[in-house]
């Protein structure tokens, strides 16, 4: 079986929500998308973030993939468009920290009211995290509360780093939707 046939087979399996197929495609094309973004951004962290977003979006829209096109080209196009969107958003964005520093002096310690509000927000967030599927809940807790790196989570869960990155991104998106629903 040729490499193209194997890739097409994995795409069809991914369309049926086969997690192993998603992992195969992620591992197969990660370097291509990451290197493309690294050339565009010149920043490893930003390139990695956009690459993760690219795969998350591609996997979410996998059923819209048309096999008349090369899958790698489809991924790169998604990635390019995400980068362009990010540049447009950042162009119109004011640096809030810089703005705050110019306008006022920040207080060093939060007031008792601020502490109470923060505790309530944290409690609400934990309740929403508990609504996530177990595998998403686990990676979000390890990343956000235990402050483990992707590599540390990968070792702890015995899963590839790239899979962990995508799971964290998906968990954050689902969590964001849960938060929006309750606001």
Q: Do domains 3-91 and 110-182 have the same CATH topology?
A: no
Residue boundaries of the structural domains of the chain? 3-91, 110-182
Tens of pLDDT, residue by residue over 128-149, are 888 888 888 898 888 888 888 8
Query: Could you tell me if 46 and 37 are in contact, meaning their C-beta atoms sit under 8 angstroms apart?
Result: yes
Angle CA 113–118–124, to nearest 5: 130
Q: What crossing angle do the helices spanning 19-41 and 44-60 adopt, rounded to 10°?
A: 140
d(CA 54, CA 80): 9
Architecture of the structural domain at 3-91? Orthogonal Bundle (1.10)
Tens of pLDDT, residue by residue over 90-128, are 765 544 444 444 444 444 556 677 677 777 777 777 888
Q: Which CATH class is domain 110-182?
A: mainly alpha
3-state class percentages of the chain: helix first, strand second, coil last, to nearest 5: 80, 0, 20
**What is this structure's pTM?**
0.61
């Amino acid at each position: 079986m040729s490499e193209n046939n194997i890739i097409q087979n994995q795409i069809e399996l991914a369309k049926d929500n086969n997690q192993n197929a998603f992992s195969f495609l992620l591992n197969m094309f990660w370097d291509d998308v990451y290197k493309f973004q690294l050339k565009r951004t010149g920043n490893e962290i930003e390139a990695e973030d956009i690459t993760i977003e690219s795969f998350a979006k591609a996997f979410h829209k996998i059923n819209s993939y048309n096999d008349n096109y090369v899958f790698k080209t489809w991924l790169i196009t998604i990635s390019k468009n995400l980068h362009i969107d990010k540049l447009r958003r950042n162009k119109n964005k004011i640096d809030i920290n810089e703005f705050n520093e110019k306008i006022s002096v920040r207080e060093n310690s939060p007031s008792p009211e601020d502490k109470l509000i923060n505790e309530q927000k944290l409690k609400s967030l934990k309740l929403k995290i508990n609504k996530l599927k177990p595998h998403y809940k686990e990676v979000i807790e390890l990343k956000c509360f235990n402050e483990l790196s992707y590599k540390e989570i990968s070792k702890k869960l015995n899963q590839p780093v790239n899979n962990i990155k995508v799971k964290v991104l998906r968990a954050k998106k689902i969590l964001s939707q849960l938060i929006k629903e309750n606001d």
